Structure 1
Amino acid sequence: MENKQSATPQGIAPMYLIHDLTIVSPDRGRKDIQSLKNAVTSAEQVHFPNRTLLYDLYHDVYTMDGYLSGIIDKRIDFVLNKKLKFYDKEGKEVEEITKLMRSNEGREIIRKIMESVFWGVSGIEFKIGKKLEWEEIPRKHIKPEKGIITKSQYGVSAESGYKIEDLPFVWIIGKKNDLGKLLACSMYAIYKRGNFGDWAQYVEIFGQPVRIIEYDAYDTQTKKELKEILDKSGNSLSMMIPKQASFQMLDGKQSNGDGKLQQAFKDACNEEMAIRILGNTETTSSSKGSGYAQAKEHGEQQDELTASDLIMVENYLNSEKLLTILRSYGYQVDGGKFAYELEANLAKLKSRMEIDLELSKIIPIADDYWYETYSIPKPDNYEELRKKMDERQSFNPMTKKNVEEVPEEPTPKNKKNNEDEDPENLTDFSKPKLLDKFLKQLADFFDPARQ
């Protein structure tokens, strides 16, 4: 294996690209709506797009807004907690690769794939060696529109960096022109931050009583003594007003006496961010008018969103780029694929089984359907067990019984002829019902699989 990455327009790339980048800490300056507009304008430029300002703003709102970071981590954890396995071309699990993806390195790769949904792009540089190791490429240096990685975060051309297609151990995840879901959330996070400042000021001013002292404007000695009293009696808000002056304090308590205006604004911003990230609000915080039905519906919407994320992660993990990198570490991935082991929804599975049982009375259903639908492992000696089960079911004591061994009951003299009897009122308990037969056959069929 070569210890150098492939050539670039500037010559040979360094041993590790990350060591050749000029890393700059995020900008922690004041962020407002105008800052967001400027950042988006810079990122969407046609000829020289640059996401530096935008990603500095993303970093600020993500780390400082607990609600936003919480719902993002929640969506990522939904994926991280699912069971991921690798299967070879014969459909058997390769435990070595499965354990690799469950390690810290594997889980962090999946995290970077999910983070590309919110940031728009993620970058990984794999280290050459026998063990899978990698480092994250700072997003501010990735220019997906141009297909390059620049040494400086303000670089805009290939002359100031390296082409991504020339770096075999660099994996860039995300769409070319996608700025991520944090773009919509940033506006609400900025508004909410300003709202919290106003709320804190409201509490500071009106959260404690105000001391007002009136004095004669011409009595300077009294004014001096009163000021000394106020200074020694605590730090709460106090005012000294001449008696000759007219004073009126408009505090807004008539329309916002308890501060609910700021709280309602904060909740509105949180709900908008939750809808953007999770697709709903009920799985994180419940509204006043919510009930079980609404919460259940939102929970099912969350399941659909998670299912979509799992498909996306599978597609990235099964890409030729990652499989080639894993192959370079000595893993046998030819013909294999990553797949999630989905957990069954018991309530939905029960309803589906009832439907399947009714359909089995009308049309034949293949045995593999039951195994796949209900996630039952198919035994290796399936054909042998299937044959034995058919033999047991072919022998039915009710049908093999000799008619001569059953004595005929004497017919009473006063019993009516068969022609006079109503066949609809007769019930034959000597034969099992069709549903009972099917349930018994289904139980006999799956019992050997559990052994």
Structure 2
Amino acid sequence: MANNNNNNNNNNITEVQNQPFIINDLTLISPDRSSKDIGKLKESIEVAESIYYPNRVQLYDLYHDVLSLDGFLRGIIQKRIDSVLNKKINFKKKDSKKDEDLTDLINGQKGRDIISLLIESKLWGTSGLEFVIGNKLQFHEIPRKHIKPEKGIITKSQYGLSEQDGYKYEDMPFVWVIGKKTDLGLLLACSMYAIYKRGSFGDFAQYVEIFGQPVRIMKYDAYDTKTKTELKSLLDNSGSSLAMMIPKQAEFEMLDGKTSNGDGKLQISLKDACNEEMSIAILGNTETTTSSKSSGYAQSKEHGEQQDELTISDLIFVENLLNSDKFKSILQSYGYDVDGKFEFELDLDLSKLKLRMEIDTFVSEKVPISDDYWYNTYGIPKPDNYDELKAKMEEAKKVNIAEPVNKSNTKKEKTDNKKGDLSDNSRQNFINTFFSKLADFFDQAQH
């Protein structure tokens, strides 16, 4: 790593060390875990989108609630984040050489945590980090309920609305807030389906509880109170399953929905529909997480390519943020040399590369293509002694080109000798001469 005792860095550290950490000055409140329904979701959105007094507290509490209790939603979100985390990223200097210190940092646990928060800003609408001044990179995550992107402030109380209640983060060099002012995140599109799915599970559980075991029905004579008392005692002492007592004279009919929903497919269909909508919102497809009855290889491949495009978009998004002036200035304060940029190592699709190589090879016969294009397109590292190896290749090409010419000249000399020998006018000599000329013709056509 670069020298940490640089005078400019020490001056920057001295200037901000006396400032209090925002995270230590916030009044934190645990998320609201009360019951959530569509009415509360609508109310939360209206408050968050208020023009004069926007507040995302209620909406973020709802996000916490649906995210912590919906396993499918957590799974697809983690899948999208892992698609970025599993790609190795390097810091390349201007001479294209890799900086080992910054590469190790961004691929380490702290770097992975930063990248995760960057991706989560798309899900929540915002993410905030406060970096700790010192010799080693450290940071705290700023609770999102205290970030007011519409006002550009971080409030001490989650219900604060003005700059007097907190800090203006754009003026703070070691506070990094990511997100657009009006973006409420992808979780907004998933919350409605998560709430509906939760209600469907509740109905399904009640259905199983009521109709998942036999119903005991006992009939008694309406005027025989003694029999009624004995039957009631019997039912009370014979288990907790559903039981009914009715007079023989009464008509009884149980409309339980078993005719149209005997196996609970109604609730399962609603659950699957909600999962599909959430999968489309987060991953852009359905077939890479679950498989529908009508799915096949072609459909799954198409959906996989759609998700690849979404992953590439996330990689570009993360690259742009890591290469931003804000993050580079933060890294520079820790003594790192930031004269370069972060770049992801992309996984090569061999089937696509094979087709592209055929096209590139054809194009290279028509117009010149630089060697750097081949290195960058096919992920081949450029050797340090490139100029030396290139010169040797050019010499080898000249030799290979010269050899066929010599062979052709040799064949031509032999043919000329045969042409000069006219003394043999036999049929065999004529045939040999004809085929020799024919071979020379095709040999010249090839060259």
Structure 2 length-normalised TM: 0.90
Matched, 1:347 2:342: no
2:427 to 402, 407, 413: 413
Partner of 1:239: 244
Greater RCO between the two (CA within 8 Å, min separation 6)?
2
- What SS is found at the alignment partner of 2:130? strand
Partner of 2:391: 387
- What SS is found at the alignment partner of 2:427? coil
In 2, Cα distance between equivalents of 1:184 and 1:174: 17
1:298 to 300, 303, 307: 303
In 2, Cα distance between equivalents of 1:108 and 1:406: 75
Matched, 1:95 2:109: no
Q: Structure 1 residue 248: deviation in Å? A: 1.0
Deviates further, 23-32 or 349-358: 349-358
Tell me if structure 2 keeps the 8 A contact 1:85–1:341: yes
- CA spacing shift, 1:166–1:369, aligned 2, 3 Å: closer
**How does 1:206-221 map onto structure 2 within 5 Å?**
206-221=211-226
Q: Which has the higher helix share?
A: 2
In 2, Cα distance between equivalents of 1:43 and 1:405: 88
In 2, Cα distance between equivalents of 1:66 and 1:432: 69
Matched, 1:195 2:209: no
Partner of 1:400: 406
In 2, Cα distance between equivalents of 1:342 and 1:225: 77
- What SS is found at the alignment partner of 1:162? strand
Opposite residue 392 of structure 2, the aligned amino acid is K
**How does 1:214-363 map onto structure 2 within 5 Å?**
214-333=219-338, 335-363=339-367
Q: Structure 1 residue 373: deviation in Å? A: 1.5
- What SS is found at the alignment partner of 1:171? strand
Deviation digits for residues 387-434 of structure 1, max 9, x if unmatched?
21221221233222452896456886268799999x9x9797758968
In 1, Cα distance between equivalents of 2:426 and 2:79: 78
Q: Structure 1 residue 96: deviation in Å? A: 0.3
Deviation digits for residues 348-407 of structure 1, max 9, x if unmatched?
001111122222333333322222221111222222212212212212332224528964
In 2, Cα distance between equivalents of 1:412 and 1:146: 105
Opposite residue 140 of structure 1, the aligned amino acid is K
In 2, Cα distance between equivalents of 1:292 and 1:229: 59
- CA spacing shift, 1:404–1:287, aligned 2, 3 Å: closer
- Output the aligned Cα RMSD: 2.5
Partner of 1:449: none
Opposite residue 410 of structure 2, the aligned amino acid is V
- What SS is found at the alignment partner of 1:212? strand
Deviates further, 354-363 or 100-109: 354-363
Opposite residue 129 of structure 1, the aligned amino acid is G
Opposite residue 285 of structure 2, the aligned amino acid is N
Partner of 2:122: 117
Partner of 2:56: 51
Q: Structure 1 residue 135: deviation in Å? A: 0.6
Q: Structure 1 residue 15: deviation in Å? A: 2.1
Partner of 1:132: 137
Tell me if structure 2 keeps the 8 A contact 1:4–1:15: no
Q: Structure 1 residue 5: deviation in Å? A: 4.1
Partner of 2:380: 376
Opposite residue 77 of structure 1, the aligned amino acid is D
Partner of 1:32: 37
- CA spacing shift, 1:3–1:155, aligned 2, 3 Å: farther
In 1, Cα distance between equivalents of 2:445 and 2:83: 47
Structure 1 segments unaligned to the other structure (5+ residues): 7-11, 435-451
Partner of 1:146: 151
In 1, Cα distance between equivalents of 2:321 and 2:363: 38
Opposite residue 32 of structure 1, the aligned amino acid is D
In 1, Cα distance between equivalents of 2:16 and 2:40: 38
- CA spacing shift, 1:168–1:414, aligned 2, 3 Å: same
Partner of 2:189: 184
In 2, Cα distance between equivalents of 1:361 and 1:165: 54
Structure 2 segments unaligned to the other structure (5+ residues): 1-11, 419-423
Tell me if structure 1 keeps the 8 A contact 2:68–2:74: yes
Tell me if structure 1 keeps the 8 A contact 2:23–2:142: yes
- What SS is found at the alignment partner of 1:168? coil
- CA spacing shift, 1:234–1:3, aligned 2, 3 Å: farther
Tell me if structure 1 keeps the 8 A contact 2:63–2:187: yes
In 2, Cα distance between equivalents of 1:62 and 1:212: 43
- What SS is found at the alignment partner of 2:219? strand
Tell me if structure 2 keeps the 8 A contact 1:5–1:167: no
Partner of 2:9: none
In 1, Cα distance between equivalents of 2:15 and 2:102: 26
- CA spacing shift, 1:75–1:412, aligned 2, 3 Å: farther
- CA spacing shift, 1:414–1:26, aligned 2, 3 Å: same
Report the count of equivalent residues.
425
Tell me if structure 1 keeps the 8 A contact 2:186–2:281: yes
Tell me if structure 1 keeps the 8 A contact 2:152–2:169: yes
- CA spacing shift, 1:275–1:432, aligned 2, 3 Å: farther
Q: Structure 1 residue 56: deviation in Å? A: 0.1
